[in-house]
Amino acid sequence: MSAAAVDRETEGKANDLYWGSQSSVNQIAEDLDLSKGTLYGLIRPLPSGLTCPDCGEEVVYPNRTAKERSLVACPSCGWEGDEMDADANGGDGAVALPDLSDAVDTVAPPPPRSGDPRRIAVGGALLGAAAGLALVLWARRR
């Protein structure tokens, strides 16, 4: 079957199987009665939800191997790199700060207490006992 003869339903199935299963490319092509070349022609890059650090467009995973290795590419400008180099906040890494010109000064509430004082005391006592026991065992070995 040629790429021109493949309908949208087959294209959708091919992408679903390629990106959503562990089946090999050979198995997917066989299941869909396609050649590997035709199957590769149907596969669309998977959006990553990250943006290109150069141009700000969304980067994609070109194939499953790239996704497994956390490698993304920008279809707009050609940038390629690791997911960690792509930007989750926008193309230039800038973060939009809120306009605080009309903000009213208020006193922040005190931070919440970290826990019940009795539990903290018991925990400290147990920790001290463990340290003491370790010290005794160490001293006996010498």
Span 13-28, average pLDDT: 90
Q: What is the pLDDT of residues 60-69, one digit of tens each?
A: 999 999 999 9
Distance CA 14, CA 98 (A): 44
Residue 2, SS3 per DSSP: coil
Segment 57-112, tens digit of pLDDT: 899 999 999 999 999 999 989 899 898 888 775 544 444 556 666 666 667 777 67
Tell me the domain boundaries of the chain.
1-44, 45-92
C-alpha distances (whole Å) from 26 to each of 19, 51, 72, 94 are 14, 32, 24, 44
Joined together, the tokens standing for residue 101 give 């010109």
Q: Which residue has the higher pLDDT, 58 or 116?
A: 58
User: In the block, which residue shows the tokens 């290795």?
Assistant: 69
pTM of the model as a whole:
0.55
Average pLDDT of the residues in 2-12: 70
